[in-house]
Chain A
Amino acid sequence: MRKLKEFFVEKLIFICGLASIFFVVLIFLFLTKEGLAVFKYVSPVDFLTGKSWYPISEPAQLGILPLIFGSLMVTLGAAIISIPIGIACAVYIAEIAPSKIKEVLKAGIELLAAIPSVVLGFIGMVTLVPWVKTVFHLPTGLTALSGSIILAFMAMPTIVSIAEDALYSIPKSYKEGAFALGATHWQTIYRVLLPAASSGIVAAVMLGIGRVIGETMAVMMITGNAAVIPQSILVPVRTLTATIAAEMGEAVVGSEHYFALFAIGIVLFIISFIINVTADLFLHKRN
């Protein structure tokens, strides 16, 4: 009886383990099947470099260059804001903070990760958007910058916790050695610990960026969704994710618009795949 139970539990866990891979493969197959069909209507080059996105016009114009730039602009802004703060926060938690403050900070960061993105988007819409509008004297506060700031908040928990982990797992002897040579605390952090943990920190940054580029709801609410190639970070942009979310409801199943949205899905899938693989490579380099 015990053996039977053991057998079933083992198999069950095995199936659960395979399930995630199975789902990823299924999703990828489905995406490719639906997405590649768009190239019957538009060439891959026109699709990726076209500057007009008018999916419901006759004939439809399906150029996603403005959307790619929109996503990149928001992501870049979020990275510039979140990486320095995130790494500094990780250093503080791992090296400097007394244990009581450390616990509070860690709990706070986990809490930040738990806030649903729609809530962050809503808070951004009510507080951040008017602020950006007045501070920069803009016609509207629904800009890439607003999106970047909110997304930085979402990337921060990932960056902090993984970077902190990387710093924590450096052998104690490194630090002791640096101190023994007469280095100050800051010199130790800057010259010894950060380089030693660099691969883990890069992985943390990549995973944080991965989260940013895939984020949908908050960006859709506060970036204005105008499909123009952005000339600066202070103009409205439309991201790949927001486009899919906003338009999937309308697309007639089997139309070129529908296929185009799936093709955008493929583009996103490829981008996050590359980011994840890079992060993985750096993580394994450490081990």
Chain B
Amino acid sequence: MFKKPLIFLFMLFLFAVSAFAGKDGSSIQVKGSDTMVNLGQAWAEKYMEENPEDFVAVTGGGSGTGLSSLISGSCDIAMSSRNIKDKEIALAKQKGINPFEVKVALDGLAVVISPANPVNKLTLDQLAGIFTGRISNWKDVGGKDEKIVILSREVNSGTHVYFKEHVLRNNNPNGKEEFTPSALMLSSSQAIADEVAANSAAIGYYGMGYISSKQKTIAVARDDKSEYVEPSIENVLSGKYPVSRPLFLYTNNQPQGLIKKFVDYALSREGQEIVIKTDFVPVKK
């Protein structure tokens, strides 16, 4: 009996809060990629320290969530760890939104295994084989006779999409390769890190920021004739590490006013230093 009115009151409260938040002229909403949420938060904090009269709210939810909020007009800046899709651009145009892309940082995707696993290096083709299910035993890539446990992020993750397009499909836009259906879909990078640390047969991938001593990173080569490269800031910057991706901010039209101020701050020297501090790679030196 008492529950319903309470929920109703709560909803009223939410409406009221969102109405007020929307009216305030000097606030911006930033939403999107979970990979970038810490980075966005760090920018917002420093930015608000310097501009106390402005308010920047940062929330996660996944690249797709951010872009669909931008399209529906419920956020001002979308953070995305993948390029916007043609479908999303078309949908945005329908609603009178004109997405504008700004590249703000680079991220290397580390492929990780347990330190107990003897494998150290793999080629892109071997990686694609493992994640599509073509290679299912570690002994085929120089490890123990053990079934490979494949860990992936959920499909709401820009990391998932990037890994599929650039590793599984090897940058071929018409590729049909998919993650093997037996791949375990975990809901966060931290969950992958934990499972890899505990499971000697597991392999997973995530942004460089999540690397710790409990996992071992794999050196990756473009093909078996090239050099095997460890994921590190220098190797991503020089372009040697083959699995790295750009991170974007999307705005409606060219950024203006407060939004421009914030985007400019992200690209400023100070903003790019924050990029390094949060374990990403800056676009400008």
Contacts and interface: CB of A to CB of B under 8 A. Distances in A.
Contact of A220 (B91, B147, B187): B187
A139 B146 CA distance: 8
A142 B198 CA distance: 12
Interface residues of A, number: 37
Interface in A102-161: 125, 130, 133, 139-140, 142
Contact of B182 (A16, A221, A226): A226
A249 B62 contact: yes
B199 A52 contact: no
B149 interface: yes
Interface in A220-273: 220-221, 224-228, 235-236, 238, 246-255
A125 B190 CA distance: 13
A247 B155 contact: yes
B64 A249 contact: yes
B42 interface: no
A122 to B, nearest CB: 11
Instruction: Indicate the member of A20, A54, A133, A140 with the most B CB atoms within 10 Å.
Output: A140
B184 A252 contact: no
Contact of B181 (A16, A52, A125): A52
Contacts of A248: 156
B285 interface: no
Contacts of A246: 154-156, 185, 187
Instruction: Indicate the member of A53, A133, A225, A235 with the most B CB atoms within 10 Å.
Output: A225
A86 to B, nearest CB: 25
Contacts of A142: 184, 195
A57 interface: yes
A227 B181 contact: yes
B31 to A, nearest CB: 11
Given A55-B155, A139-B201, A249 B181 contact: no
Contacts of A57: 178
Contacts of B183: 226
A19 B4 contact: yes
A236 B147 CA distance: 14
B88 A56 contact: no
Interface in B5-55: 5, 8
B72 interface: yes
Nearest to A227: B181
B156 A236 contact: no
B59 to A, nearest CB: 11
B184 A226 contact: yes
Contact of B65 (A13, A52, A250): A250
A200 interface: no
A238 B185 CA distance: 9
Contact of B156 (A16, A235, A247, A254): A247
B14 to A, nearest CB: 16
A253 B157 CA distance: 16
A228 B186 contact: no
Contacts of A55: 155
Interface in B132-148: 146-148
Nearest to A22: B4
A180 B270 CA distance: 88
Interface in B178-204: 178, 181-187, 191, 194-195, 198-199, 201-202
B62 to A, nearest CB: 4
A66 interface: yes
Interface in B65-96: 65, 67-68, 71-72, 85, 87-88, 91
A20 B65 contact: no
23 contacts: A56-B161, A125-B194, A139-B148, A142-B184, A142-B195, A221-B191, A225-B186, A225-B187, A226-B183, A226-B185, A228-B182, A236-B182, A238-B185, A246-B156, A247-B155, A247-B156, A249-B61, A249-B64, A250-B62, A250-B154, A252-B85, A252-B88, A255-B87
Given A56-B155, A224-B184, 8 more contacts: A13-B1, A130-B198, A133-B199, A227-B185, A238-B185, A246-B187, A247-B156, A250-B62
Interface of A: 13, 16, 19-20, 52-57, 66, 125, 130, 133, 139-140, 142, 220-221, 224-228, 235-236, 238, 246-255
Chain A to chain B: the 6 pairs with minimum beta-carbon distance, closest first: A250-B156, A250-B64, A225-B185, A224-B184, A249-B156, A246-B154
